[in-house]
Copies of this chain bind each other. A is one copy, B any other.
């Protein structure tokens, strides 16, 4: 079982050091500390275990070290920054694992950009050696890229020429859409196994600058000093607003709760501590404090229940800071995040997740009110941004989601997003029982999807007024009202309820899992596209395809023959 929980004292491959407002994340991958057997992590190449640590470090910085303004990514190894994902690990992994591995590494890189865009931390890739493949893709997720000029170190995307696959972590998309490298230069760069060194790499916009070995550390330090002293940041080629959303209009119509500008208030000197989650592992499930996951493995579906907050105290920012990781939104969403990651990687045969909630609608409303009232406080801001990332993780999970709305549920406000993120929803229509859903201000844009829209906007592309109506309503919807308002898919009465749910589950889990993955990816993200949707929706699909092809993974494929004396032989038919 792959465990996504870690902390700096357990890191094997990264060192996280913080000095005032500067954090340094140093990569020093231990060859033998692999997640599975059969490969060595040479030259700072990585497997999922390495990336779990990186994701933890970035997450932890935001909550534990809010005073940090600049994050430097660099390497402890001589002459190599990072050689990308380990090829032998890829070669020995199942297709489903490869795809989930790429998805997680993509989410980690998007989390870097999310931190930069919304929380104003500036990420610098200090490439003190060669960055190839996923190594350069990690760099291009940063705001600024600096390469040592030692006559040897280069940046490269050698996947196409050497391996017959695509760079799997957004590299191609970020080349042309984030750094806006000219497409013909991107074409040359992406087919050049040896890559480019400082001068031309800078000329083509692939890096921001290069410095000789003797001046490298000093130049990075100077740049970091500029950043932390709030010197105008003119170096990067990247236009943040554009990079975050390629299609200005629609997405920018979302309301002001969308944190699309870095906050400017002075962050506090001390953050809160994120301790490991407590989870009881059962033979068929995982029980957290607010999340309960029950696996019906025979029937290939899971029941995931989120429990709402126990009470409705209005808290001050100071109280929230004191409560810290135990504050309901933070703990509940950390648990949900962990459950989703667990499901993706450890339970591949679970094809459907039935989402339920338990608790008082009014308690969720009270929590949302607290979050909205104090939205400018650094911790509340980080919590809401994190909730948004977890919900996007759900959107991007290759499993079907059905929301089941029954008595004693609390699909309200932030938890209503679970329902809106589902492929379908079923709400019991029984006038004798109280079954309700409800909106809050958090549904108005604070928890955007990857396409930049709120889930209500995405739902009502044809009838935007229905999103406004749902948001304007200040009392709960019963099943008939929710159906009339377009918020749910089906509202069976109590006579049909059990049969209908049972049949829906049976039908869904009988369908081709591949076709469902492609269908859901196509239906979930209507409307505008962003760099993120391009990476997840388009690049991932191409990568999926190429990773299955004999030209990559067949006996004569390029991936199979990498590092062997034999050479790849291609079937040259173009598709």
Name the B residues within 8 Å of A544 (CB-CB): 541-542, 545, 575
Q: Are A573 and B526 in contact (CB under 8 A)?
A: no
CB contact under 8 A between A424 and B545, given known A172-B522, A515-B552, A523-B175: no
- Partner-binding segment picked from A4-12, A363-371, A430-438, A453-461: A453-461
- Please tell me if A422 contacts chain B, counting CB pairs below 8 Å: yes
Contact check, B526 vs A177: say whether CB atoms are below 8 A apart.
yes
Interface mask (A175-191 → B, CB under 8 Å = 1, otherwise 0): 11101111111111011
Instruction: Report A460-519 residues with CB < 8 Å from chain B CB.
Output: 460-462, 486, 488-489, 507-509, 511-519
Q: Is A268 an interface residue (CB 8 A)?
A: no
Q: For A250, list chain B residues within 8 Å (CB).
A: 246-248
**A182 lies within 8 A of B514 (CB):** no
**Chain B residue with Cβ nearest A191:** B511
Looking at A176, A184, A349, A529, which has the most chain B CB atoms within 10 Å of its CB?
A184
* With contact pairs A462-B181, A514-B549 given, residues A424 and B187 touching in the complex (Cβ less than 8 Å): yes
Chain A residue total in the interface (Cβ 8 A): 98
Contacts of A375 in B (CB 8 A): none
Does B164 contact A515, Cβ atoms closer than 8 Å?
Answer: yes
* Identical copies of this chain, number: 2
Residue A534 is within 8 A (CB to CB) of chain B in the complex: yes
Q: Which residues of B have CB within 8 Å of A425?
A: 184
Question: Which residues, 401 to 429 on A, are CB-close (under 8 Å) to B?
Answer: 422-425
- A115 interface hit (Cβ, 8 Å): no
B247 in contact with A190 (CB, 8 Å): no
Interface positions of A from 195 to 215, Cβ below 8 Å from B:
205
Q: Which of chain B's residues have a CB closer than 8 A to the CB of A186? A: 523
Question: Given the complex, which residues of B lie within 8 Å of A488, measured CB to CB?
Answer: 184
A348 at the interface (CB under 8 A from B): yes
**A159 interface residue per 8 A CB criterion:** yes
CB contact list, A287-322 vs B, under 8 A: 300
With contacts A172-B523, A184-B425, A548-B548 known, is A511 near B574, CB below 8 A? no
Contacts of A527 in B (CB 8 A): 177, 246
Does B166 contact A237, Cβ atoms closer than 8 Å?
no
Say which residue of B160, B512, B519, B528 sits within 8 Å of A247 (CB atoms): B528
In the complex, A350 has a CB within 8 A of chain B = yes
Decide yes or no whether A398 CB sits under 8 A from chain B. yes
A512–B188 CA distance with the chains assembled, in angstroms: 15
Whether B462 lies near A96 (C-beta < 8 A) is: no
Give the distance to chain B from A105, nearest Cβ to Cβ, in Å. 16
Q: Does A558 contact B (CB under 8 A)?
A: yes
Is A546 among interface residues, defined by CB-CB distance under 8 A?
Answer: yes
CA distance A350 to B575 in the complex (A): 11
Residues of chain A in range 87-101 having any CB-CB distance to chain B below 8 Å: 94-96, 99-100
| Residues of B with C-beta under 8 A to A571 | 513
Indicate if A387 sits at the interface (CB-CB under 8 A): no
